Amino acid sequence: MHGEWVPAVMFGGLFLFLILRSYFRYKLHASALEKGQALPETPKDKGDLRKPALVLITLGLGFMIAMHTTLSFVHDGDTPEPIAISIWGIVPILIGGGQWLYWRMAEKERLEKEERAALPLT
């Protein structure tokens, strides 16, 4: 009965956070304009978002595989099969795979940039 409130409280907290953040940002800008000061700088460069994206994708994939396997091997609350527990090891393996994939992509870009810099200008 109490468990059904958890998602509602989580989403409510998230929306409250976003609304308050927007409100305080507005107040900061309004006070700066009233005082005749320059607006505070907002960070524009988010950097390379591929790494967190790959980590989140592999994390979601790992959870999906682990949950599916766990639920398919647990029957009526009995003791789960060993595979139902050990499959959760795939989550850190997939996260490591995502990190490795990002490293490979960044290394390839770095090598291509070095090759372009080494080429003589014509």
> Mean pLDDT score of the chain, rounded to an integer?
84
Provide the pLDDT for residue 5. 75
Q: Is the dihedral of CA 50, 59, 99, 43 positive or negative?
A: positive
Provide the pLDDT for residue 73. 79
Provide the pLDDT for residue 103. 92
pTM above 0.75, yes or no: no
Contact predicate 95/58, CB 8 Å: yes
- Span 4-40, pLDDT tens digits: 777 788 889 999 999 999 999 889 888 888 888 887 7
CB atoms within 10 A of CB 45: 5
Matching residue, tokens 């409510």: 12
pLDDT tier at 96, thresholds 50, 70, 90: very high
